[in-house]
Structure 1
Amino acid sequence: MTKMIGTRLKLARTASGMSLRDLSAAMNDLVTAQAIGKYERDESMPGSAVLLALSAALDVSIDYLLSQDRVALESVDFRKKASASRREEAQVQAKVLHRLEHYLAVEEALGLDSATWDRPDGAPYPIAAIAEAEQAALRVREAWHLGGDPVTNLVELLEARGMKVICEPLADPIDGMTAHVRRTDGAMLPVIVVNASHHGERQRFTLGHELAHAVLQPHQLSDAEVEKAAHWFAGAFLMPAEILWREIGRHRTSVSLGELFALKTVLGVSVQALAYRCKDLGIFGQPLMRRLYDEFEQQGWRAPPYEEPFAIAKESATRLRRLCFRAVGEGALSASRAAEALGMSVRELDRAMAGPWEDPASP
């Protein structure tokens, strides 16, 4: 039976951000945009020369285009601004599917089980009020034996628990996304996507927010209230009340920025998120919050890109990289397939595997 490439071709093109005309131009007009559209609709199959040109223009292997393995995203939920376009959302989903297909292929080559995740006991947790997200965050921490300590590397924690975390450069209006990926065998896996272009504090809060969507089960809450509950969960998960009560106290009428920044480096959150959390816990009253809002506004921290001094290091998803190195080392995967999974050239992969001087968080 003739292999068709429509689904894979459209996925790779959308992930690249190219239109049909863009792809045609990238192939030096070897074929028209209309012809590429027919390939994507499986109305025709390209010859070997065109297939090679498509592979080069999209920076994917011919094997990838010809593969019949497919995964699908379900229950997609974005954390975004209103300015995010449908095209930007479609490109994010395509990027995620593109990355996940490679991710699952690497795990399969190593014989690893990727069908389950360590769902916290009792999850998903039903909540009927925004503040009930507080208890849900505590239950996740208890289930994962985190105690009251700060989480130093949130991506590593989530991936160790079986969630798939994808760090990709995304359009600025999109902070992140949560979804479930359905494998060809029917298994469902939770996936969290975070914008690799954002600073560390913003990434960490996005990860906490998206984790909330994976473990909360809201009842009789509006969409806006669900988002507020996810925000509350993220704050409670990253900044447990016990830490704040111990470090800041139960009630404050004044606080210095120096004190907030000192605690920022411990918890890995922005001073703005820290202030909001203290407000939710009743530590800061409205008069103090108004003074802090004014200060944040004057400093320009409440406007995009929301950057503050003493930026927290960016989160990075390194598990796929480690697995690719292992797969190549064990001969379970060719260097070319591993490089494709990581979005780099074979030469770059060889350099990365050769020594520790390469940046471990890239790509």
Structure 2
Amino acid sequence: MIGHRLRIARAAAGLSLRDLSAQIDGLVTAQAIGKYERNEDMPRSGVLLALADALNVSEEYLLSDDDLVLEGVEFRKKPDTTAREEAAIEANSIHLLERYLAIEDLLHLKSVDWEKPRSAPHPVSDIRDAEDAARSVREDWGLGNDPIPQLAELLEERGIKVLSLSLQNIDGLAAKVRRKDHMAARLVVVKSDAWAERKRFTLAHELGHMVMDPSPDMSEEEIEKAAHRFAGAFLIPADTLRAEMGSNRSSVSIGELVALKERFGVSIQAIAYRCKDLGILNQSAFVRLFKLFNQRGWRKPPYTEPGAIPPKWEEPKRFERLCYRALAENMIGEPRAAELLGISVRELGIRLDSAVQ
């Protein structure tokens, strides 16, 4: 039955039932498409082909029964994000993840299982407990106290699927992925055109949610603050920052913060928060800094702080590499590779040519 996949593909395309009916020139009504999605009816072959064309998917995709389901979805979003926007992002995430898993199957690769840190889940009853959780994850994964150069790559090595999508009011999401006859996977989605320092914080924040076990007494706001604290501690270990800055400062220059940003790959604002959390900066010094950040417009989109790190600096690359590998081994042709990557055959040719040069 095609109901689940048809609904996902339509949501990914941002179409209502009426919109989809119009896209196929009224070949069937919106009510009929609704029946297909509820598995109350099946489209005839001509309608199936028209639906696939309109949604830019294959007939095989719509007919497949290997459904993915996202569970426990958590969004990092703006307050005015609509339910329709959320549904579209979930659908696009599933759609891209299905391509990812398809290429792994094609290459006969075992999909990397989520390598949960040995000490997780970490009980958290206070925001400060997130500090210990971050330190333990670093120890479990053998990271020491050094800065992490490519966080997306690290998470993918540990079995977390990281996807990059064009998002508007949403900075990212995290979810468990249920797949027929497979163990649950972990998924994190980041905003493709966000500055790399913001992507890295989103990735670390979502990792925090995965490894922490908040007390039932904690509010949603406190849980989010704990995930923020985890992200700061994971990206900027306390001992390393104190070695760089000292243990007690009454002020810090923008130039020093930019240098630290280049080392740790996080925003100036995240470093300032980290300094406050660790008591390196007192409250008055912290407030002065954020007044300056506001005056210079760094706290509003597009968040163009000094030393902004380009979005492509922190992008997940494993899926793309697997597509190129399958192409090189003649397991797929260029049209299929382009379809998996969501680009045109011409764009694929340009990428391949630039890689050779």
TM-score by length of 1: 0.92
In the other structure, the counterpart of 2:146 is: 149
C-alpha deviation, 1:305, in angstroms = 3.4
2:355 counterpart letter in structure 1 = P
C-alpha deviation, 1:138, in angstroms = 1.1
Deviation string 1:161-192 (CA, Å, 9 cap, x unpaired) is: 111111111122x1111111011014111111
Counterparts of residues 1-363 of structure 1 (less than 5 Å): 4-114=1-111, 116-172=113-169, 174-219=170-215, 220-314=217-311, 315-356=314-355
Moved more, 95-104 or 49-58: 49-58
C-alpha deviation, 1:354, in angstroms = 4.1
C-alpha deviation, 1:334, in angstroms = 4.7
Task: Give the Cα separation in 2 of the matches to 1:158 and 1:56.
Answer: 35
Task: Give the Cα separation in 1 of the matches to 2:125 and 2:212.
Answer: 10
Report SS of the residue matched to 1:308: coil
C-alpha deviation, 1:330, in angstroms = 2.3
Contact 1:61 1:340 in 2 (8 A): no
Task: Give the Cα separation in 2 of the matches to 1:115 and 1:162.
Answer: 5
Q: Would the alpha carbon gap of residues 108 and 157 (structure 1) be closer, same or farther in structure 2, given more than 3 Å must change?
A: same
Query: After TM superposition, where is structure 1 displaced by more than 4 Å over at least 4 residues in a row?
Result: none
Task: Give the Cα separation in 2 of the matches to 1:208 and 1:48.
Answer: 46
C-alpha deviation, 1:157, in angstroms = 0.7
Task: Give the Cα separation in 2 of the matches to 1:180 and 1:34.
Answer: 32
Deviation string 1:294-350 (CA, Å, 9 cap, x unpaired) is: 101101112233331321122211111111111222233454443322212334334
Report SS of the residue matched to 1:130: coil
C-alpha deviation, 1:273, in angstroms = 0.7
Task: Give the Cα separation in 1 of the matches to 2:310 and 2:347.
Answer: 24
C-alpha deviation, 1:268, in angstroms = 0.9
Contact 2:119 2:137 in 1 (8 A): no
Deviation string 1:245-286 (CA, Å, 9 cap, x unpaired) is: 121111111111111112111111111111001000000001
Task: Give the Cα separation in 2 of the matches to 1:216 and 1:352.
Answer: 40
2:204 counterpart letter in structure 1 = G
Task: Give the Cα separation in 2 of the matches to 1:264 and 1:113.
Answer: 37
Report SS of the residue matched to 1:112: coil
2:178 counterpart letter in structure 1 = R
Report SS of the residue matched to 1:21: helix
C-alpha deviation, 1:6, in angstroms = 1.7
Structure 1: which 5+ runs fail to align? 359-363
Aligned residues: 354
Contact 2:112 2:158 in 1 (8 A): no
Structure 2: which 5+ runs fail to align? none
Report SS of the residue matched to 2:173: strand
Report SS of the residue matched to 1:356: helix
C-alpha deviation, 1:146, in angstroms = 1.4
Task: Give the Cα separation in 1 of the matches to 2:211 and 2:138.
Answer: 12
Report SS of the residue matched to 2:176: strand
Task: Give the Cα separation in 2 of the matches to 1:54 and 1:354.
Answer: 34
Task: Give the Cα separation in 2 of the matches to 1:128 and 1:287.
Answer: 28
Contact 1:169 1:195 in 2 (8 A): yes
Contact 1:106 1:333 in 2 (8 A): no
Cα RMSD after superposing both structures: 1.8
2:329 counterpart letter in structure 1 = E
Q: Would the alpha carbon gap of residues 277 and 357 (structure 1) be closer, same or farther in structure 2, given more than 3 Å must change?
A: farther
Report SS of the residue matched to 1:117: coil
Q: Would the alpha carbon gap of residues 145 and 313 (structure 1) be closer, same or farther in structure 2, given more than 3 Å must change?
A: farther
Report SS of the residue matched to 1:11: helix
Deviation string 1:116-156 (CA, Å, 9 cap, x unpaired) is: 12211111111221111111111111111211111111101
TM-score by length of 2: 0.94
1:204 counterpart letter in structure 2 = R
Deviation string 1:88-137 (CA, Å, 9 cap, x unpaired) is: 11111111111111211211111111151221111111122111111111
Identical pairs, percent: 55
Contact 2:167 2:191 in 1 (8 A): yes
C-alpha deviation, 1:357, in angstroms = 7.0
Moved more, 158-167 or 43-52: 43-52
Report SS of the residue matched to 2:355: coil
